[in-house]
Amino acid sequence: MKKIQNPVENEKKEWQKQKKQQTRKTWLTIFSPVFLLLIWQILAQLNFIDARFFPPPTAIISTFQELLISGELVHHVSISLFRIFAGFFLGVLPGVFLGLCMGLYAPIRHFLSPIVMALMPIPTLALLPIILILFGIGEVSKIVTIAGSVFFPVVINTVAGVMSIDSTYLDVAKNYGASRKDFFFQVAFPGALPVMLEGIQMGQAIALLTIVAAEMMGARSGIGYLIWSSYSAFLLKEMFVGLILISFFGYIFSLMLKMLERKLLPWR
């Protein structure tokens, strides 16, 4: 028997307990990267790891401050972010459009599928020399490289998203006389959206991988260039600043996409 006889009071207690547990979990999530850095710091200070190769986080932080004050960091980060965003949208928008067309119209799908399948396995980075020849060494070539690698997961997931729509929904749309436009915007697009967003998540991750590699190979600016040039000059603290920034942005971007997903799919 429970001591308190008020059932609402009981449920309230239960609810508060669950709320507390939720908060605790959130703290754990936040604490875990801090914990990793702490271990790293201690190991470096106790000389268990070589501080020349793995400088302690405090040293990296002060280098971070120096780079920030000199303005160098802002320059590299902003140019990289610009390339990522431009390339991302240039890959996502045609990917979604083409994916919807392929999913909805069988002739287009049958014609384009083999081409997409054949091109997909080629890493866009392997095409970088050709891209450089075609678009020069300016910004366009980096943006095109990112767009190229974002495009494929988005197309493929959008097609899969359309194909995954239950045929009953298509029947309902037809039975109630949906026009081509209404069918596209009210049934096909929202129906395909969940799987499409998975593709966009993947595209985002690939965009980050690609930018670093592309900037290492053919750029004079950006986070990738910072990493590569610091490494070449054996400035490992600077290199780690670049690496940690990449991981930070990757984390922020996936959080943003998760939030976007919750906004776009309230019905899930």
Partner 1 sequence: MSQNPKISIRGLTKVFYKKQHSVMALENISLDINEGEFVCFVGPSGCGKTTLLRILAGLESQSSGGFTIKKSGQQRPSQSMVFQEKGVFPWMTVAENIAFGLNMRQLPQSYVKERTNYFLVKTGLSKFADMYPKELSGGMKQRVSIARAFANDPEILLMDEPFGALDEQNRFILQEELLSIWTETKKTILFITHSIDEALYLSDRVVLMSAQPGKIVDEVEIKLPRPRKLHDIRSHPEMTVAFLQIWRHLQGEVQNARQEDERRM
CB of 187 to partner 1, least distance (A): 7
When binding is defined by CB under 8 A, the residue of 107, 114, 121, 266 that contacts partner 1 is: 266
Q: Does residue 32 touch partner 1 according to CB under 8 A?
A: no
Q: What is the DSSP letter of 267?
A: T
Q: Does residue 233 touch partner 1 according to CB under 8 A?
A: no
Q: What angle is formed at CA 170 by the lines to CA 168 and CA 171, rounded to 5 degrees?
A: 60
Cβ-based nearer residue to partner 1, 40 or 183: 183
CB of 179 to partner 1, least distance (A): 7
CB of 172 to partner 1, least distance (A): 6
CB of 176 to partner 1, least distance (A): 4
Q: DSSP 3-state assignment of 3? A: coil
> Residue type at 127?
L
CB of 114 to partner 1, least distance (A): 25
| DSSP per-residue string spanning 95-148 | HHHHHHHHHH-HHHHHHHHHHHHHHTTS-GGGGHHHHHHHH-SSHHHHHHHHHH
Cβ-based nearer residue to partner 1, 125 or 178: 178
Judge whether 109 and 158 are in contact, CB under 8 Å.
no
Identify residues 144-203 at the interface with partner 1 (CB under 8 A).
166, 168-169, 171-172, 174-179, 182, 186-187, 190-191, 193
Q: DSSP 3-state assignment of 266? A: coil
Residue 193, number of CB atoms within 10 A of its CB: 19
Binding site for partner 1 (CB under 8 A): 166, 168-169, 171-172, 174-179, 182, 186-187, 190-191, 193, 265-268
